[in-house]
Amino acid sequence: MREIQFREALREAMSEEMRKDERVFLLGEEVAEYNGAYKVSQGMLAEFGEKRVIDTPIAELGFAGIAVGAAMNGLVPIVEFMTFNFSLVAIDQIINSAAKMNSMTAGQYKCHMVFRGPTGSAGQLGAQHSQNFENWYANTPGLKVVVPSNPYDAKGLLKSAIRDGNPIIFMESEQMYGLKGEVPEEEYTLEIGKAHVAKQGTDVTIVSFGKMMLRVNEVVIELEKEGINAEVIDLRTVRPLDHHTIIESIKKTNRLVIVEEAWPLASISSEITYQVQRHAFDYLDAPIRRITTQDTPLPYASTFVEAFLPSIGKIVEACKAVAYK
C-alpha cells in the first residue's frame, strides 16, 4: 500500500468529496492562494476555482457565520481554522447556531458542515496557541467531535464527516501534518463514533486519541520489555464516545490507563472514568489511572513544554503501577 502524508490524506478526502458533490466547498484563511497555512489544500484552488476554495479575511466569527448560513441553505461548507485556538472567536456561531439549528427548527434547517484545523501543542507556540478544546466541543449536544491519529484514519474519517449531515468538529495536530502512513487508493470511509482497537493485549488497556497515540505506540514497546502486554484503543471520535469498546477491553485486561492531551478538569478522561466505574467497576482489579497535561497554561520554554505534556515515562509508570497490582 502507498504511503502519503497526513496533509495529503486530508486533501484527498476533501477533493474526492468535492468532485462527487458540487455543494461541498472550502473556506478559511489562506486556503486558496497560499495553498493552506499547512499546505493541506495545495492545488485545490487550481482544480475547483475561487468559488469553491475561498480565502477569507482574518475574521473567524464572520466566515463561520457565513458558512452556517450556507449550510442552512443546502450547501456543505468545510471551514478551516488556522488553529482551533482561533475558533474561540467563532464559538458563538459553532455552539449557538450550528449545533442547535436542527433542534431549534424541528429539522427544517440543518447544518451539514465540517469545522476543521489543528489542535493542541505544536512546540514553542506559547499559551494562546497550544490549547486542546476537544472536551469543550464534545460537551455540546448537536456536535460530533473527531480526532484522527494517522493518515489512514484522517482520510476515512474526514470523508465520513463531510457526508454525515451534522456539524462536525474535526481536530488535527499541527505536528502530524508531515506524518506518513499507509492509505489505500480505493474508496473507503470510517464510522464516526466507533473506536479502533489498535493493538490486542491482555494486561492493561490504554485509551487515547489524536497525537497522543504516537506516544502510546512508543509506550507499548517499553512495556513489552517489562513483560506487560498492553491493549491499545484509539478513540478516533470523542463525541459520540464508544464506551462499549472500552468496557469490553476492560473485561479482558481488568486495568485501565487513559492518556489525553488536555487539562484534567472535566476532560474526556474524566467522562471515560465515570462511565467505566458505572458500567464495569466489578471488572477492575486496580484503580483507573489517567495521564493529562499539567493544570496550567502552557509555558514557552522548551523544557516546560515537555514537562507539561503526557510523557512516555509517565505513561509507562502508570501502566506498570496498575499492571502489578
Partners of 116 in the β-ladder: 80, 170
Of the chain, the end-to-end C-alpha distance in Å amounts to 42
Return phi, psi of residue 166, to 5°: -115, 165
Looking at the predicted structure, is the pLDDT value of residue 324 above 80?
yes
Model pLDDT, residue 126: 84
pLDDT band of residue 127 (cuts 50, 70, 90) is: confident
User: Once rounded to an integer, what is the mean pLDDT over residues 84-94?
Assistant: 96
pLDDT band of residue 274 (cuts 50, 70, 90) is: very high
Residue 71 shares a structural domain with residue 140: yes
94 and 137 Cβ atoms separated by less than 8 Å: yes
Residue with cell 449536544: 141
Q: For residue 190, is it within any domain?
A: no
What is the per-residue pLDDT across 164-184, written as a single tens digit (0 to 9) for each?
999 999 999 999 999 999 999
Residue 178 shares a structural domain with residue 201: no
User: CATH number for the domain including 116?
Assistant: 3.40.50.970
Model pLDDT, residue 224: 96
Residue 236 shares a structural domain with residue 95: no
Looking at the predicted structure, is the pLDDT value of residue 245 above 90?
yes
Residue 101 shares a structural domain with residue 241: no
User: CATH number for the domain including 261?
Assistant: 3.40.50.920
Domain-terminating residue out of 129, 155, 182: 182
Return phi, psi of residue 244, to 5°: -60, -45
Tell me how far apart the 2 most distant CA atoms of the chain are, in Å: 60
Q: For residue 187, is it within any domain?
A: no
User: Once rounded to an integer, what is the mean pLDDT over residues 19-28?
Assistant: 98
Question: Distance of CA 236 to CAs 37, 111, 205, 248, Å?
Answer: 24, 22, 16, 17
Looking at the predicted structure, is the pLDDT value of residue 99 above 90?
yes
Give the least confident one: 22-36, 41-55, 124-138, 250-264.
124-138
pLDDT band of residue 40 (cuts 50, 70, 90) is: very high
Residue with cell 452556517: 68
| Rounded Cα–Cα distance for residues 174 and 70 (Å) | 28
Which regions of 60-189 does DSSP assign to beta strands (E)? Answer: 76-80, 113-119, 144-146, 167-173, 180-182
Domain-terminating residue out of 157, 182, 207: 182
User: Once rounded to an integer, what is the mean pLDDT over residues 87-113?
Assistant: 96
Residue 122 shares a structural domain with residue 207: no
| Rounded Cα–Cα distance for residues 112 and 168 (Å) | 8
Give the least confident one: 103-117, 145-159, 166-180, 299-313.
299-313
Percent of the chain past pLDDT 70, that is, above it, reads 100
Which regions of 95-164 does DSSP assign to beta strands (E)? Answer: 113-119, 144-146
Residue 47 shares a structural domain with residue 158: yes
| Rounded Cα–Cα distance for residues 155 and 181 (Å) | 11
Model pLDDT, residue 122: 85
Cell of residue 76, nine digits: 456543505
Domain range spanning residue 218? 196-323
| Rounded Cα–Cα distance for residues 80 and 266 (Å) | 26
Model pLDDT, residue 76: 98
Residue 268 shares a structural domain with residue 149: no
Cell of residue 30, nine digits: 489562506
User: Once rounded to an integer, what is the mean pLDDT over residues 256-276?
Assistant: 96
Looking at the predicted structure, is the pLDDT value of residue 145 above 80?
yes
DSSP characters for 196-227? EEEE--SSEEEEE-TTHHHHHHHHHHHHHHTT
Model pLDDT, residue 106: 94
23 and 74 Cβ atoms separated by less than 8 Å: yes
**Residue of 206, 103, 189 lying closest to 146 (CA atoms):** 189
What is the per-residue pLDDT across 50-71, written as a single tens digit (0 to 9) for each?
999 999 999 999 999 999 999 9
Residue 289 CB-half CA count within 13 A: 21
Residue 224 shares a structural domain with residue 250: yes
H and E: helices and strands count for the chain: 12, 14
Which positions are annotated as active-site residues? Answer: 60, 129
User: Once rounded to an integer, what is the mean pLDDT over residues 67-91?
Assistant: 97
| Rounded Cα–Cα distance for residues 263 and 275 (Å) | 19
Average pLDDT, the chain: 96
Q: For residue 75, is it within any domain?
A: yes
Q: For residue 245, is it within any domain?
A: yes
Percent of the chain past pLDDT 90, that is, above it, reads 93
What is the per-residue pLDDT across 198-223, written as a single tens digit (0 to 9) for each?
999 999 999 999 999 999 999 999 99
What is the per-residue pLDDT across 282-295, written as a single tens digit (0 to 9) for each?
999 999 999 999 99
**Residue of 262, 320, 247 lying closest to 294 (CA atoms):** 262
Model pLDDT, residue 128: 87
Looking at the predicted structure, is the pLDDT value of residue 325 above 80?
no
183 and 2 Cβ atoms separated by less than 8 Å: yes
